[in-house]
Amino acid sequence: MIRAFLYDPTTQTHQSGGQELIEAWRASEHNLIWLDVEGESKETDVAFLKQFKIHPLAIQDALRPRHPPKIERFEDFSFILMRGLDADTDGIDFGAIQLSFFVGERFLLTRHANPSVSANWLYKKLLRDNSLFENGPGGLAIRLSNRLARRYIEILLGLEPRLDEIEEEMFIRPDDSLLAELTSYKSRLRKLSRIASYHKEIAESLRTTHDPLIDTALTHEIIDLYEQIERTQSLASMYYQICNDLTDGYLGMSSHQLNRVMQLLTIITVIFVPLTFMAGIYGMNFENMPELASRWGYFILLGIMFVVAILQVLYFRRKRWL
């Protein structure tokens, strides 16, 4: 699918549609256009991007299914590659898509293999308010990047209540499923932090390096983008540490419970050792054992065993082992 948004800055009017708007864009020296390419074949993408004289290396990077986010400036356009959240993501168990930006003087090309919530959001917003195109294609690219970055913060903030619940559940009803859940969160947060570090480099480059294709009036939007990405990285690191602390706490509690069980089993064993010793002695079949002929020998031995057991229990309670 290829959708287009054509904007005429002289009349402040717009048209929306498909590839047919490219001809109207070429026919005017003032018109601006945003073309959003989604889910097309590799051959179609290559042919389409070549129409706008996109460098072959930039096309190659954009079409790779897995490529680290980056920013690269060419003679006639700037290439920005970011990693956004897919349309099915509504929590920390997220999926990611590659989102490519080609920012020219009069055009913005975006390309993604799967649906992009951020691109859909900006397109619908443009249909209601075309003034968003007043800062040119660079302004649209920054606003789309801002929306993409904001989605990461939203899923991170949604994780905090669940971490609070896990902390409470650990003391009420600890279960191995909690440990598995924390391990999954740590893996996701580590991946998210890595993505944020790449995005931070892009935002830093936009913030510190002048790009003639991006209006200087967008300075505050770029600073906001940098701060959002920095906050994403900070939150991901903080929640990763919280998950780490909760994991250590759970393992510590499990170890403590195991030690208590082993201590109880050891005490039971110690109590029965002397009793087993006495039972073993009088269980031997020797004829010259005077206690065997005693009328009260059995009851006396049981009494001694009972007293020994009670004395040991009292001793262990005094030591607070029971």
Give strand pairing partners of 142: none
Q: Are residues 266 and 246 in the same domain?
A: no
Distance between CA 268 and CA 273 in Å, rounded? 9
Do 97 and 83 touch, CB atoms closer than 8 A?
A: yes
Q: Are residues 209 and 307 in the same domain?
A: no
Q: Are residues 201 and 289 in the same domain?
A: no
Whole-angstrom CA distances from 247 to 160, 211, 252 are: 15, 46, 8
Which CATH number covers residue 285?
Answer: 1.20.58.340
Phi, then psi, of 320 in degrees rounded to 5: 65, 35
> What residue type is 134 in one-letter code?
E
Q: Hey, is 283 helix, strand or coil?
A: coil
Distance between CA 200 and CA 30 in Å, rounded? 33
The reply to whether 271 falls in a domain is yes
The reply to whether 114 falls in a domain is yes
| Token pair for 20 | 């047919």
Q: Are residues 161 and 282 in the same domain?
A: no
Q: Hey, is 266 helix, strand or coil?
A: helix
| pLDDT for the residue numbered 231 | 92
CA atoms within 13 Å, Cβ hemisphere of 288? 0
Distance of CA 246 to the CA centre of its chain: 16
| Token pair for 218 | 């967008």
Q: Are residues 242 and 290 in the same domain?
A: no
Q: Are residues 245 and 280 in the same domain?
A: no
Distance between CA 10 and CA 186 in Å, rounded? 52
Q: How many domains does the chain have?
A: 2
- Of 252, 281, 306, the last residue of a domain is 252
Q: Are residues 290 and 169 in the same domain?
A: no
Q: What angle do CA 236, 240, 242 make, to 5 degrees?
A: 120
The reply to whether 257 falls in a domain is no
| pLDDT for the residue numbered 256 | 64
| Token pair for 228 | 């959002």
Q: Are residues 170 and 275 in the same domain?
A: no
Across the chain, what does the average pLDDT equal? 85
Distance of CA 43 to the CA centre of its chain: 33
pLDDT tens, residue order, the chain (322 aa): 888 888 888 888 888 888 888 888 888 888 888 898 888 788 888 888 888 888 888 888 888 878 889 898 888 888 999 988 888 888 888 888 889 999 988 889 998 888 888 888 888 988 888 888 888 888 889 899 999 999 999 889 888 888 888 888 777 777 778 888 888 888 889 999 999 999 999 889 888 888 777 777 778 888 999 999 999 999 999 999 988 888 877 776 677 677 777 878 888 888 888 888 888 887 777 777 777 777 787 888 888 888 888 888 888 788 777 6
The reply to whether 64 falls in a domain is yes
DSSP state of 116: B
DSSP state of 234: H
Q: Are residues 228 and 271 in the same domain?
A: no
| Token pair for 91 | 């929590």
| Residue range of the domain that includes 118 | 2-252
Which tens digits make up the pLDDT trace of 19-59? 888 888 888 888 888 898 888 788 888 888 888 888 888 88
Q: Hey, is 73 helix, strand or coil?
A: strand
Which tens digits make up the pLDDT trace of 106-159? 889 998 888 888 888 888 988 888 888 888 888 889 899 999 999 999 889 888
Which CATH number covers residue 188?
Answer: 3.30.460.20
> What residue type is 94 in one-letter code?
F
Q: Are residues 169 and 297 in the same domain?
A: no
pTM score, two decimals? 0.76
Q: Are residues 148 and 26 in the same domain?
A: yes
| Token pair for 319 | 């030591």
